Chain A
Amino acid sequence: MTILKNERDLVVPGEILAEGLDYLPGYGAFREGDRILAKNVGIVSIRERNVGVTALSGRYMPKAGDKLIGEVLDVQMSTWFLDINSPYQASLSIGEASEEYVERGADLSRFFDVGDVLYAKIISVSKHKNIQLTMKDIMCKKLRGGKIVNITPSKVPRLIGKAGSMISMIKEKTGCNIVIGQNGRVWIKGENEDLATQAVLMVNDKSHLDGLTNMVTEFLNSNPGVKVAADAKVYEYVEGDAN
């Protein structure tokens, strides 16, 4: 019947978000009798009839369709197992990794070996958290060189910015090649790696502030060490909207 919280209110688990059957529980909320309650510490979000909570902390939980950065942990007969910064390992089967014909029993480490870092997409997550990955998607590739920075997974949309504004600005200013995984891993490669890392961590630490894009721009402009190579390759990378 009534909604008891406003958009962007801070709630803790067990707080009542809405009463009556007019609303539906979204992510981070559950129904108990005729009440909708919060599951997580987070920010209330109301989308028409859906009332949910965007969590402010917690591990990355894999979702079908997410693109992420994983590290190869094990190579088996026809599968690789990857660490995806989540409580569960993900598997990538040979059919999803390569178009070419591979002999039975062939050594798969010539494609990807233990320790390789891949940018992959989740095809499916089963009820028991069996996670299937694929490399058959644009942008999916092995990431060579560079370095990886971990940020809080819930802050990934902030780092990307509206229509990719934040990340394309960082790429432009530093001339680095940056790939962001939904699981909170950020791969950075280029001449100003350290500077780009600082900018990414700045977004992570100050994600709550208004005018963050300007602050980061100022930080990057004021840094005397910035050398943008004339032929710096800047990849356009837009991963949905900020929300």
Chain B
Amino acid sequence: MLYKRYLSMLLKSQLQYKASFVMTAIGQFLVSFTTFLSMYFMFDRFSQVEGFTFSEVLLCFSVVLMAFSFTECFARGFDVFPRLIRTGELDRILVRPRSVVFQVLTSTMEFTRFGRFLQAVLVLCYAIPASGVNWTGDKIITLIAMFLGGCAVFAGLFILYAGFSFFTIDGLEFMNIFTDGSREFGKYPLVIYGEGVLKLLTYVIPIALFQYYPFLYLIGRTENRWMMVLPLVGFVFLLPCYGFFRLGLSRYQSTGS
């Protein structure tokens, strides 16, 4: 398959600079490790937040970080999409006989993000026994659904980000609110930011669908079994994001060269 070939090609090329690759991966690990440490210090001081304990909150932290770093690795092309526009690289993509999305995805990947992913997996391994959750089949399915739903929502956000770059390059920084912001603030159960924020993150940017609600089911605060499949609604979020991207693409007039 063509995708596999691209994958191995990009991986090989990045592994050419081994020292830099390892350092960057360690750096990625450390970046999220400081976030983890700061959470540890906060819970060391306050012991709980709105009744959630440290090990319960770690479930949120690790699932969000796993989904984010996984998506960031493979959807990196959308993350650097503004560059494709600025350099005119997109024009080359448009004349090739493969879909745009496929080519953007394969234009670059960022394997050093596995440093972050690894961190998330380690934290999850700690949190799974420590959180005191009784891991029945239902709960395991919920956890997997949370990860998949998270990947879908983050992919949607990256595509949305790329879509916005058709309209503004300078003003893109505000999109960090949604991409980096979701990762950063998704480390705590979203309800701690208050009802208003929770509603916003349920209906507008559906992060709560794969984070807060299924999390409640995991730790046994609700018995509603619908929470198991709720994260998968995240895939629906991909539609408007992709639609927006197409809209931008249809108005694209090239940057000339």
| Binding partners A and B | no
